[in-house]
Amino acid sequence: MKLFRLIAAACLVAASLVISAGAQTAARPQPAPPAQGGAAPASTGRIAIIDSSAFSDEKAGIARVVSAMRTVDAQFQPIRTEVQGMQTRYQALVDDINKTSAVADPKTIQTKTDQADTLKRDMERKTQDAQIAIKKRMDDVLGPLQEDVFNSLQAFAQQRGISIIIDASRVPLIYAADSVDITKDFIAEYNRTKPATASAGGAARPAGRP
C-alpha cells in the first residue's frame, strides 16, 4: 500500500491552464526588445499541445523533476515504513478480535479493541502530519523548478512561433494531431540544456523530520 504516492502533476505544473507565450501576466515583466540589428523574434500564431504530467515520467520525463521527487521520496521513506508497520499491527489486532470475540473473555476483547482504536488514531494523525510535511517539502523543492520550467517553456514557444500552449493534462481534448504535441521536444530540449547533474533548486537540501 503506497500511502504517500508523490504526484508530480499536482506539485510541479501549477502553470496556467493555457499558457500564452506572446503575452506575460502582470507579475512577469515584459522581455526587453531586441537590440537594433539583432534577430527579430519568430512570427507567432501557432497553437501547441503539451502534457505536463509527462514531466514526472521516470523514464521519459524531465530529469531534474524526477531527481527532485526521488530525493523527497527517499527523505520520507522512514515515516512511510513506520505508518505501514502501524497499519499491519492494527489489522492484526482487528483480525484477532474478529476471530476470538465469540469465545474470549469480554474484558480481553475490550482491551484489544481499545488498543486498536488508539493505534488507529495514532496512525491517522501520523499519516496526516506526514502528508502535510511532504507537501511542504515538495513545494520547497519543486517551487524553483516549477518557475524554471515555466520560463523555459515560454522561451521554447517564442523561439518556435507558438502563441498558445494548451496543457492536455488539464484540458479535455477531443482531438489533437501529433504534429502539434510539443511534449517530447520540450522535455528533450530542457534535459539537453539543463541536465539533472546541474543545480536543481532545493532538491539537495536535507529535509527536517515531519
Give tens-digit pLDDT for 99-115. Answer: 998 888 889 999 999 99
Examine residue 25 and state whether it is found in any structural domain, yes or no.
no
Average pLDDT over residues 82-94: 93
Whether the pLDDT of residue 83 is over 60: the answer is yes
Examine residue 112 and state whether it is found in any structural domain, yes or no.
yes
SS3 label, residue 94: helix
Q: What are phi and psi of 89, to 5 degrees?
A: -65, -40
Percent of the chain with pLDDT over 70: 73
Report which DSSP code applies to 103: T
Domain extent for 102: 8-18+44-193
Examine residue 103 and state whether it is found in any structural domain, yes or no.
yes
Classify the phi-psi angles of 45: left when phi > 0, otherwise alpha if psi is within -120 to 50, otherwise beta.
left
Average pLDDT over residues 109-137: 93
Examine residue 2 and state whether it is found in any structural domain, yes or no.
no
For the chain, what is the domain count? Answer: 1
AA letter at 46: R
Q: Model confidence over 12-31: pLDDT tens digits?
A: 333 323 333 444 333 343 44
Examine residue 200 and state whether it is found in any structural domain, yes or no.
no
* Confidence bin at 198 (pLDDT 50/70/90): low
Give the range among 2-6, 93-97, 108-112, 183-187 with minimum mean pLDDT: 2-6
Residues 165 and 48 sit within 8 Å (Cβ to Cβ): yes
Q: What is the pLDDT of residue 44?
A: 53
Examine residue 146 and state whether it is found in any structural domain, yes or no.
yes
Examine residue 109 and state whether it is found in any structural domain, yes or no.
yes
Strand (E) or helix (H) holding 162: strand 162-167
Examine residue 167 and state whether it is found in any structural domain, yes or no.
yes
Q: What CATH number is given to the structural domain containing 82?
A: 3.30.910.20
Average pLDDT over residues 66-79: 92
* Confidence bin at 209 (pLDDT 50/70/90): very low
